[in-house]
Amino acid sequence: MTATTGKQAAAAAAKTLLADRIALVETLGAALDTHRRAEQAVTTARSAAATAAQHARDAYDAAKTGGWTAAELNKAGLRAPATSRTRATKTTAPPHDTGSEAAASGSDNTVAGAA
């Protein structure tokens, strides 16, 4: 049996600790990749839905141009999808935080030497 030196024991302990930490970031990386793929799928689906809605509105307009009335189409259960509305962004003032200004300037409002 070979005696383990302090250097070898420290290296083995460090490798064990690093392996545990590396496993955590590998799990995090996989979760973030899954999230990014899901966000891309949502973006793709929204785009496909918007395109399909536009085609349906165009077909509805063509039916009306061809002589159908909106009432007749509605009676048949054929309603054009609503047009997409853009959301207005809400502009708000940043919250007033009296403590952050002092922290940012390095001032803690204490008298030097008073502790």
Q: What angle do CA 3, 6, 9 make, to 5 degrees?
A: 80
On whether residue 108 sits in a domain, the answer given is: no
On whether residue 112 sits in a domain, the answer given is: no
* Of 77, 84, 74, 33, residue with least CA distance to 54: 84
**Number of compact structural domains in the chain:** 1
> Rounded CA gap, 51 and 56, in Å?
9
On whether residue 104 sits in a domain, the answer given is: no
pLDDT digits (tens, 9 = 90+) for 74-99: 999 999 998 877 666 666 666 665 55
Domain residues for the domain of 28 are 8-81
On whether residue 110 sits in a domain, the answer given is: no
> Rounded CA gap, 21 and 29, in Å?
12
pLDDT digits (tens, 9 = 90+) for 4-54: 689 999 999 999 999 999 999 999 999 999 999 999 999 999 999 999 999
On whether residue 51 sits in a domain, the answer given is: yes
On whether residue 12 sits in a domain, the answer given is: yes
In the chain the first and final C-alpha atoms are separated, in Å, by 59
